[in-house]
Chain A
């Protein structure tokens, strides 16, 4: 046993190498934990959150004017379990931005509940702040419109409510919560009951439960909430799964490389110990111990780091899915440890077996004599390349260890693939968002409908600087075959200026023609070229499929196509002639009593902000794991070749040349890895983005998928080189600083 300890201790004395091994393993295990959490969070996120909150299968609203509290409470007997009644009211508020100012918020249904999670059903999760304690305090549902604690909301009667926290109910039973007394003070309008049933899995069963409550009771089935959530989560599951899988692959690769490298670097020491009588079985045990000790220390640190990073990550994921954050998940931690040990064991066992079988004389020669033949052709070609010798020596170096070269190459490839995927994804999502923000972003000025009902076109035509314009207004369009009216947009003038991408067909050019979204075609089963009919309008020929960033049933047509909407008011989108001063133009309109404003793109919406931070975090993590993997490989390589480095220095190689040689040693894996990683990331992007869109029920135009310019791809391919060079910097500095005499003495 003491001989084994000697081998292990020998490796531990190599402080830099050991630190790198521990760090690389820790980072890889951190990535494993986070990847595991991503995969876990992406698997049935609604079902998990619903189970965790013991969600309500049915939420019922009883009108307080018609139903007493006792009558509402009596309905509990119809369900397996019920809670309530809670007093509810609907409030209309606006943000308190000063007297009479501030945007109006959508009406909120507020329930009066004394505690967030103590009820048997719908254990709402408090995400920030505290639960209301006073009658003027409110906790609101976290949405994309973040209202931090302390925000004041002004009610229509002039009084204010103070936001004291954010919460989330997976059953979506309310948009806000106050104390029951607070709701009463606002003027209670009804009672809320929450039910759970033994049979809640089908529409038929839920309809029966809704009917049993009696006519006039407003209800919300969990099946509808689940369908909405699925719509939302399906958009992001491919994204998170892709990151999770890349993370797992990268972690396995790095841990495997670290382990194999650790054993390989101790081979000479093992040779010495074998010469002194260490048996092959003892060698195997020593090798396994040597790999497992730093590996397990790294794994333990990785678990801690992973659990710490999981807090912001799972919060982001929960926001993305509209669910509740996962807490530290012991099974993911345990699985990460087991996976790390398995990978270490699987890599260490063959390496240990090889070391045990290695002839002692060969083991002793390791470090001075590379295995014959390997890398000679590369060395020969590099010598004749005409490059500075320090670079050509470095370039040829990895070929003496093909397995390590392959792992380094894969590590760079995965790191580059992750970066390529993340950048492409961010670009695609921005384009989707840009489509969602049209037509505001494709016009210069938005003219609001005149209060006096006059036609602003007269003023627009008479104002200098007006280029082109069109009017646009909302309309509900009844379509045979659709249960609910489609959201229509009727236009006056040439609305092609809105700049929407067409997925198929063309923009309409005459009354009687319409373009629709993919959601419309899916819902109606129609195709471009078909005609739809409905009340209030004549036949509409669908001449094109438009992409407006929405999955809903949207229809765009000329106002003349819908005679029943002739009284519709329009907003007018104006494109100015080049060189027109927008501020002066707006003042000119104002002087003519037209209310207008400069169009602007809205800021990135909350989902995009979350996605951006999530992709940035995951990309940074994966790239760091890859860089640490490279660092580890180069440290091992430099340690193995320290004697050769000494020889080069004794022949006159300067520290700069030495550093250049070490950095050049990752040049080929960096370049090839980058070149391989870019198409891999490209393919993952081209798979994941349409899959995300399909999950969300939209079809994307090519322009949102083909986001990679040739220049960007070239830069990303070169990024592999920079990633590898970044990983090699530290060992390069170490090699440059190594004293020649010391290096020459090193065995």
Chain B
């Protein structure tokens, strides 16, 4: 379990919780995303997220939640509109620049973990730092993250041997490896049983409490209510509430 008293994030990573005065972290302005069928996954949507905020994106399947997350992560580009994260116009980035942006700014957590099964837990966590060419201190930081997330005993294990909750913790550790100012989580409890889901929920609450900006996509109203400081509901690619 998470040692809450010590905090989820290593001390250096902790920031101040969001306040009304917090600067904008994400600025999505009039964004649309259409696919080849010309159906709009997002339709002139605008959204602002403050630094230190925890935003939950809710909505039925096909409402555009994951598409919006992909645009913020620089995994996809809008057909219209602008996406600015931490002052960077993400919608204008080339593939290489988007990759560098993700390394520096974004930590991604997926519904199905997306861990690489032929790498050990430690090697999975180290991966973002290694891809970014960071070597000094990364192994220590990975160890520290595994300890604070309570999975250090699995450091040398392969992901296939872990429970769903443990795998998602590894995925969170990997997402936090490069100290990203923004954590994006796509259905982080969607593939987990109740107990594991509760573990991850607690983890996200602790992370946010320590100042981590989080945007998560979820169907889980309980998770949104427990973790998010604000919820946005999407329907047919537009903000419904």
Taking CB atoms and an 8 Å cut-off, the chain B residues in 185-233 that contact chain A are none
Given contact pairs A370-B118, A376-B158, A744-B75, A648 touches B131 in the complex (Cβ within 8 A): yes
Would you give the 0/1 interface string for B114-128, flagging 1 where the beta carbon is closer than 8 Å to chain A? 101111100100111
Q: Is A650 at the interface (CB under 8 A from chain B)?
A: yes
Q: Is B65 at the interface (CB under 8 A from chain A)?
A: no
Q: Closest residue to B73 on the A side, CB-wise?
A: A650
User: CA of A396 to CA of B123 in the docked complex: distance in angstroms?
Assistant: 13
Taking CB atoms and an 8 Å cut-off, the chain A residues in 355-376 that contact chain B are 368-370, 372, 374-376
**Contact B123–A380 (Cβ < 8 Å):** yes
Instruction: Please give, as numbers and ranges, the residues of chain A lying within 8 Å of B57 by CB-CB distance.
Output: none
Q: Closest residue to A376 on the B side, CB-wise?
A: B118
User: CA of A656 to CA of B125 in the docked complex: distance in angstroms?
Assistant: 22
Q: Is A607 at the interface (CB under 8 A from chain B)?
A: no
User: CA of A746 to CA of B20 in the docked complex: distance in angstroms?
Assistant: 40
Q: Is B141 at the interface (CB under 8 A from chain A)?
A: no
| Number of chain A residues close to chain B: CB under 8 A | 35
User: CA of A369 to CA of B127 in the docked complex: distance in angstroms?
Assistant: 18
Taking CB atoms and an 8 Å cut-off, the chain B residues in 94-143 that contact chain A are 95-96, 98-100, 102-104, 108, 110, 112, 114, 116-120, 123, 126-128, 130-133
Contact of B116 among A644, A652, A655 (CB under 8 A): A644
Query: A367 → chain B, closest Cβ, in Å?
Result: 11
Q: Closest residue to B177 on the A side, CB-wise?
A: A651
**Contact A383–B102 (Cβ < 8 Å):** no
Q: Is B160 at the interface (CB under 8 A from chain A)?
A: yes
Taking CB atoms and an 8 Å cut-off, the chain B residues in 154-179 that contact chain A are 158, 160, 174, 178
Q: Is B76 at the interface (CB under 8 A from chain A)?
A: yes
User: CA of A647 to CA of B174 in the docked complex: distance in angstroms?
Assistant: 12
Contact of B100 among A374, A647, A654, A740 (CB under 8 A): A654
Q: Is A739 at the interface (CB under 8 A from chain B)?
A: yes
**Contact B114–A647 (Cβ < 8 Å):** yes
Q: Is B70 at the interface (CB under 8 A from chain A)?
A: yes
Q: Closest residue to A372 on the B side, CB-wise?
A: B160
Given contact pairs A376-B158, A380-B123, A383-B119, A652 touches B128 in the complex (Cβ within 8 A): yes
Interface secondary structure of A, over-half rule = helix
**Contact A390–B118 (Cβ < 8 Å):** no
**Contact B108–A383 (Cβ < 8 Å):** no
Instruction: Please give, as numbers and ranges, the residues of chain A lying within 8 Å of B103 by CB-CB distance.
Output: 651-652
Q: Is A657 at the interface (CB under 8 A from chain B)?
A: yes
**Contact A654–B96 (Cβ < 8 Å):** yes
Q: Closest residue to A377 on the B side, CB-wise?
A: B118
Q: Is A135 at the interface (CB under 8 A from chain B)?
A: no
User: CA of A655 to CA of B74 in the docked complex: distance in angstroms?
Assistant: 14
Q: Is A22 at the interface (CB under 8 A from chain B)?
A: no
Instruction: Please give, as numbers and ranges, the residues of chain B lying within 8 Å of A370 by CB-CB distance.
Output: 117-118
User: CA of A649 to CA of B75 in the docked complex: distance in angstroms?
Assistant: 9
Given contact pairs A389-B131, A400-B118, A651 touches B96 in the complex (Cβ within 8 A): no
Q: Closest residue to A387 on the B side, CB-wise?
A: B130
Query: A373 → chain B, closest Cβ, in Å?
Result: 9
**Contact A396–B118 (Cβ < 8 Å):** yes
User: CA of A425 to CA of B178 in the docked complex: distance in angstroms?
Assistant: 56
User: CA of A644 to CA of B95 in the docked complex: distance in angstroms?
Assistant: 17
Instruction: Please give, as numbers and ranges, the residues of chain B lying within 8 Å of A654 by CB-CB distance.
Output: 95-96, 99-100
Query: B226 → chain A, closest Cβ, in Å?
Result: 26
Would you give the 0/1 interface string for B4-44, flagging 1 where the beta carbon is closer than 8 Å to chain A? 00000000000000000000000000000000000000000
User: CA of A648 to CA of B108 in the docked complex: distance in angstroms?
Assistant: 11
- Among A388, A647, A648, the most chain B Cβ lie within 10 Å of the Cβ of A647
**Contact A657–B76 (Cβ < 8 Å):** no
Q: Closest residue to A650 on the B side, CB-wise?
A: B108
User: CA of A736 to CA of B128 in the docked complex: distance in angstroms?
Assistant: 17
Q: Closest residue to B67 on the A side, CB-wise?
A: A741
**Which A residues form the contact surface with B (CB < 8 A)?**
368-370, 372, 374-376, 379-380, 383, 388-390, 396, 400, 643-644, 646-657, 736-737, 739-741, 744
**Which B residues form the contact surface with A (CB < 8 A)?**
70, 73, 75-76, 95-96, 98-100, 102-104, 108, 110, 112, 114, 116-120, 123, 126-128, 130-133, 158, 160, 174, 178
Can you sample 24 A-B contacts with CB below 8 Å?
A372-B158, A374-B118, A375-B118, A383-B119, A389-B127, A389-B131, A390-B131, A396-B118, A644-B116, A647-B116, A648-B131, A650-B75, A651-B103, A651-B128, A651-B131, A652-B100, A652-B104, A652-B128, A652-B132, A652-B178, A653-B99, A654-B100, A740-B76, A741-B75
Contacts A649-B75, A744-B110 aside, 11 further interface pairs with beta carbons under 8 A come to A369-B117, A376-B118, A380-B120, A383-B123, A389-B127, A643-B114, A644-B116, A651-B103, A651-B108, A652-B131, A655-B99
